[in-house]
Amino acid sequence: MSPGEHTTVGVDSTVSNEPFGAVVAGALGVAPEALSEPVSHAAIAPIDETPLASQDRGKRTMWSSRISLLLVAALVGGLAGHYASSSNNGTIPVTSNNDAPGAAVLPSGLTIPSLVQRVEPSIVSIDVKGQGTEDQGTGMIISANGYVITNNHVIAAAVGGGTITVTRTGSTKALPATLIGTNPIDDVALIRINSTTGLPSVTFGNSNALVVGDAVVAIGNALGLAAGTPTVTQGIVSALGRTVTAGSTSSSETLNNMIQTDAAINPGNSGGPLLDAHGDVIGMNTAVAGSLPDGTSAQNIGFAIPVATIESLLKKLEAGESVVNHHAFIGVEIMSMTPSLRAQYGFTVSAGAVVMSVISGSGAASAGLKQGDVIVAINATSVAGAQDVSSLISVLHPGDTVTLHIVRGATHLSLKVTLGTQPAG
């Protein structure tokens, strides 16, 4: 959901200022509320970032305030601008220094220029033509034989028969690529550069070991300025375990356990890497916050899919599987259990999906699910975090009944939930 789509989709997230302090973007399978304030991007007319209308998700708790998120997608186009000229006739004395500027240094001791030099050969710009549009994004080479991971929304226009080309960093040659597997629910897709071997690839890091405050670097085809010349930004991990919901004209999806960062993320960055201080990929840049309902602009709030999530999906993507969402709906807002949550609120389990709120009138509400419950299994399948709940429910159908195994305080309970229908996005 970000870097390479002709239309930017509004994402609705909820920032919790009270217990469990997390961004919770909506019930699993629940569409976001209408976003009334588009974000203004001065002088960048070709980039369409108008949030699309979405649906009400029902009653919320007092923990929540609402913020709009934008998928960082880029429509092909140019930037308007001008050059400033000088009338200096050379008579003014100027003091100059020819020393090279100092390189920014990361906590690992690695300089950002050296990190970029090492990683950039594994980054590609992606161009997609299809359905009457031309979209741009970013991808990461993950194997020598040309497999590239990116966001599903970057290549969505090619699903119906469009074309995909990639341009490697430092090159101007567009190479044809083939779509291998798609996962719209988790917003991850796999493509392969045709007839290539011996390519450099990124190294995956350990996103499970991240802590708030860790240094990060983002690389991507920001604004689609020029294929093969990615933009580099730096920041920190601002928060972990965020949940955001993205909506389009045809669907909505909830992304769980996202990494929040203040590293600048812009249209065209989608599918690009969020790197740790060692240059290892710990996330895939996907969305950026837009504005609050009152029109106040959010600042420096971007989101990336953890690399641990991406790794868990690669086997099915490589096999050519495409995930189909049947729009089953539980009616809960969830986030992954973390050590800090467990320590702060005294949870008795170390893994699972914490229920942040329950939507009134939903199957979860009828079954008696409560705020603060921890979902540890669905039917016979254990749940390690919010990602597992999303994946397990997405393949089910409205009307199906599931057994949620939960922990409430020190008590283990089993609740039967009849799934509803996800509201249209």
State the catalytic residue, choosing from 127, 135, 186, 187: 187
* CA–CA separation, 193 and 164 (whole Å): 9
The answer to whether 388 is a known catalytic residue is: no
Token digits of residue 149: 């991971």
Q: Are strands 133-141 and 174-183 parallel, antiparallel or unpaired?
A: unpaired
The answer to whether 187 is a known catalytic residue is: yes
Which burial class, exposed, middle or buried, applies to 378 when counting CB atoms under 10 A from its CB (0-12, 13-18, 19+)? buried
What residues are paired with 21 via a beta bridge? none
Go through 72-111 and write b for each residue having 16 or more CB atoms within 10 A of its CB, e for each that does not. Answer: bbbbbbeeeeeeeeeeeeeeeeeeeeeeeeeeeebeeebe
| Closest to 308 measured CA to CA, from 284, 326, 324 | 284
Please name the residues in contact with 226: beta carbons below 8 A apart, sequence gap of 6 or more.
none
Q: Are 221 and 231 in contact (CB under 8 A)?
A: yes
State the catalytic residue, choosing from 122, 207, 270, 336: 270
| Closest to 273 measured CA to CA, from 217, 225, 227 | 217
Token digits of residue 89: 């006739």
Please name the residues in contact with 369: beta carbons below 8 A apart, sequence gap of 6 or more.
332, 355, 358, 404, 406, 415, 417
H-helix or E-strand spanning residue 329: strand 328-329
Backbone angle region of 31, left / alpha / beta, with phi > 0 → left and psi within -120 to 50 → alpha: beta
State the catalytic residue, choosing from 153, 238, 327, 388: 153
Q: Are 67 and 149 in contact (CB under 8 A)?
A: no
CA atoms within 13 A on the CB side of 278: 10
The answer to whether 153 is a known catalytic residue is: yes
DSSP of 194-237: TT--S-----B--GGG--TT-EEEEEE-GGG-STT--EEEEEEE
Active site residues: 153, 187, 270
